[in-house]
Structure 1
Amino acid sequence: MSRVPVVVYAADRVLQAGVVHQLRPRPEVELLDAGEEDRAEVSLVVVDRIDEVATQLLRRLHRMSPARTGLVVGQFDRNALQTTVECGVAAVVRRADANQDSLVSMITAISRGEGVLPGDMLAQLLDHVGQLQRQVLDPRGLTLSTLTVREADVLRLVSEGLDTAEIAVKTAYSERTVKNILHEVTTRLQLRNRAHAVGHAMRHGLI
């Protein structure tokens, strides 16, 4: 089994020592020393709450470190959720639940490219995303999928084998508008043609 290189960032020495003590015996984890941060696959941030100092650290890691970030936190509210999303945090575990096994499970999940959230935090995140869609994106005809509603509609019709004229009839757009929509999608997403656009959209679950 290959060990996951991990660097621990903690708000104070007591938190640092506690997490290091739990992780050091585990064969799944390689704890890195100061100066070895560039080898890390996982950055583990341990804090009491997401205050200004913790936010600055998370932003710095998101901007400068290739490692994915896991967060062990004591207090976690809605504002903290937004900060963790903006800073690209891959996994969150509450300090009350942070025993040796849960920490190792989180680290190995992060190293596999997975995300980890407690159930109640996941519910908060889904609610937050729903509000974003309703309040910000829907009024602009946008979706979280990177396609507008009408772009997704047109690509769906292309995937069903309809040509430009047939799509124009179905959508009540002009043929010129249909061509412009497809041109915008292929240009923005750097795709070769409409077939490539349909394939991309289907692979990524956009239609």
Structure 2
Amino acid sequence: MAQPDYNGPDSSSGAGERVTVAVYAPDPILHVGVVHQLRQRPEIELVDAADGPRVSLVAVDSVDDETAALLYRLRHDSSTRTGLVVGTFESGDALQRVIECGVTAVLRRSEADQDRLLRLVLAIANGEGVLPGDLLAKLLDHVGSLQRSTLDPHAVSLSTLTSREADMLRLVSEGLDTAEIARKTSYSERTVKNVLHEIITRLHLRNRTHAVGYALRNGLI
């Protein structure tokens, strides 16, 4: 994980109290890009982690074990608040994992222009939560699914599958392969594979054919 970058001596421009920010990113290009965007804003002062930043901004493609470990570590630092710029969430479980790490502000990497990054940082500094509506819906759906499983692990309802999962299973039932489903839904082949794997794993099924049969028998597609 790349270490935070900081402004040089010319970073003292701007009026009023600036928000101190440390940027973490495993990808050097991503790290440089985020730092470059924030460095141009007079409201922001980029600092090193050792300087006690008010905001810690973690930028990643996806949430892996290394990212989760960093987020947990930052959660226990009472001097900083943490935000996340992320490429994709592979599942609702990954999103829940981030929230459990104390992250309450999330921005998609594809939407992380200078203005949105600034709004994210200022919201984090003010203790506000920021979560795109579709991610909030995904989180609520995931939590609701976990609660239903806890109450009755064998219960089946229409909400067992998300709309994206149901759409992909319908396409599987029509005989489409991974590449065809990706083109049809505008998702990457990797995302299609991950979504279908998530369904099979969560419902304790054997393969895609078993998943389609299960969904059809229970009126899920």
TM over 0.5: yes
Query: In 1, distance between residues paired with 2:98 and 2:151?
Result: 21
Residue 7 (structure 1) aligned with residue 22 (structure 2) = yes
For the 8 Å contact 2:93–2:142, the answer to whether it is kept is no
Query: In 1, distance between residues paired with 2:70 and 2:45?
Result: 22
After TM superposition, the structure 1 = structure 2 runs for residues 25-40 of structure 1, keeping only pairs within 5 Å, are 25-36=40-51, 39-40=52-53
Query: In 1, distance between residues paired with 2:65 and 2:86?
Result: 14
Instruction: Give the CA deviation at 1:55.
Output: 1.0
Structure 1, unmatched stretches of 5+, are 139-207
CA RMSD of aligned residues (A): 2.0
Residue 23 (structure 1) aligned with residue 38 (structure 2) = yes
Question: Equivalent residue for 2:104?
Answer: 90
Question: Equivalent residue for 2:75?
Answer: 62
Instruction: Give the CA deviation at 1:34.
Output: 4.9
Query: In 2, distance between residues paired with 1:75 and 1:123?
Result: 15
Question: Equivalent residue for 2:169?
Answer: none
Structure 2 CA distance for partners of 1:99 and 1:134, relative to 1, 3 Å: same
SS at match of 1:2: coil
What amino acid sits opposite 1:83 in the alignment? R
After TM superposition, the structure 1 = structure 2 runs for residues 116-155 of structure 1, keeping only pairs within 5 Å, are 116-136=130-150
Structure 2, unmatched stretches of 5+, are 1-15, 153-221
TM superposition score normalised by structure 1: 0.61
For the 8 Å contact 1:10–1:16, the answer to whether it is kept is yes
Query: In 2, distance between residues paired with 1:17 and 1:63?
Result: 26
TM superposition score normalised by structure 2: 0.57
Query: In 1, distance between residues paired with 2:130 and 2:98?
Result: 12
Instruction: Give the CA deviation at 1:134.
Output: 4.3
Query: In 2, distance between residues paired with 1:122 and 1:83?
Result: 13
What amino acid sits opposite 1:96 in the alignment? S
For the 8 Å contact 1:11–1:48, the answer to whether it is kept is no
For the 8 Å contact 1:109–1:115, the answer to whether it is kept is yes
Aligned length: 137
Query: In 2, distance between residues paired with 1:34 and 1:41?
Result: 10
- 1:135-183 alpha-carbon deviations (Å, 9 max, x no partner): 4489xxxxxxxxxxxxxxxxxxxxxxxxxxxxxxxxxxxxxxxxxxxxx
Among 115, 118, 129, which residue is 1:104 paired with?
118
